[in-house]
Structure 1
């Protein structure tokens, strides 16, 4: 089976999985465009996303307050496994029904949140580690939809920074990154 959300995940998860697999151990301390995260922190957050959203798909409450260190032996392959489980969980039609008991938002909104998290943090990881990253154009409309509807709440909760002003040369994806408080022209120091 598949759903709207699992179809979007199939477009973003493979690229993010390749990025995770491409991180070298010596890059774990590098800065990322997401100011509060070093590469290690970002990877642990991505693990938290792919694990917790498996539970969100079946309406189990999750704890977002603690981010355990997931970079244990075999973590690169482990990410691929967990991401695959997340896609499978969101492939079930009931995953999109109703409201999340823990987060109080429609399940579809949370599904879009997960997609946007992967799209944006994929960009963060790619830039921080010098890897290529192309966003599937089909991911831009749902990313815009989520940021239009939930961007203000995300800023109030500290998930997004203040919007960054960008020119037309940054393109549609650059404009969406700017809505999350990221500078699309960010480059690593040095």
Structure 2
């Protein structure tokens, strides 16, 4: 089975909402004194990263309901787990109809079917979840079965040769020999583990 067949047969909603449950646990464990800490994602400290995670769920809802995330900022002043969980609940309802997976939508990386949007936002949750976990001293280990389909879809969408200026992912970073699957995905996205794990 090739990569395209794998991601077409896996329901991205299952991956997304399982990833969201993991991120919820991370957000709930962030302490107030950690909010100003740096993260592996240079543009965010913990507070703004948490707000961005909240915003990504709101943007996925907008994609389902309006066909585009443009009406929702990628940054939210809300950075708490309650706001995140409330939006995840709404996202379940917004994406409940299977037909939405094949409906055309517009996302920051182009015009795609809805399922591709869900894959992209599952990737956002996992990558930024890794950022949040390592920045706050939490475990960044997740089940390989959760990471694998996201990694396969990502490699298909953005292979190494597509890393050109303007693409929001840096050059692939070589992984440590004992890196777990999520750390390897973070490295593939251009994040370095050095100083974080």
Superposed CA offset, 1:9-65 (max 9, x none): 232111101111111222111100111111111112111100010111234322288
Structure with more of its chain in strand, by fraction: 2
Specify which of 35, 49, 60 is matched with residue 56 of structure 2.
49
- The residue aligned with 2:103 is 98
Superposed CA offset, 1:89-116 (max 9, x none): 2232022013214541222111110111
Q: Is 137-146 or 110-119 further displaced after alignment?
A: 137-146
- CA distance in 2: counterparts of 1:155 and 1:186, whole angstroms: 26
- CA distance in 2: counterparts of 1:81 and 1:10, whole angstroms: 13
- The residue aligned with 2:191 is 182
TM-score normalised by length of structure 1: 0.83
Query: Which structure 2 residues correspond to residues 75-114 of structure 1 after superposition, within 5 A?
Result: 75-101=80-106, 103-114=110-121
**Structure 1 spans left out of the alignment, 5+ residues:** none
Whether contact under 8 Å (1:13, 1:118) holds in the other structure is: yes
- The residue aligned with 1:129 is 136
- CA distance in 2: counterparts of 1:138 and 1:91, whole angstroms: 23
Q: CA RMSD in A?
A: 2.5
Specify which of 167, 171, 176 is matched with residue 162 of structure 1.
171
The 1:154/1:70 distance shift into structure 2, 3 A limit, reads farther
- CA distance in 2: counterparts of 1:88 and 1:157, whole angstroms: 34
Superposed CA offset, 1:156-184 (max 9, x none): 54421111122432243332221100123
The 1:186/1:143 distance shift into structure 2, 3 A limit, reads farther
1:36 aligns with 2:43: yes
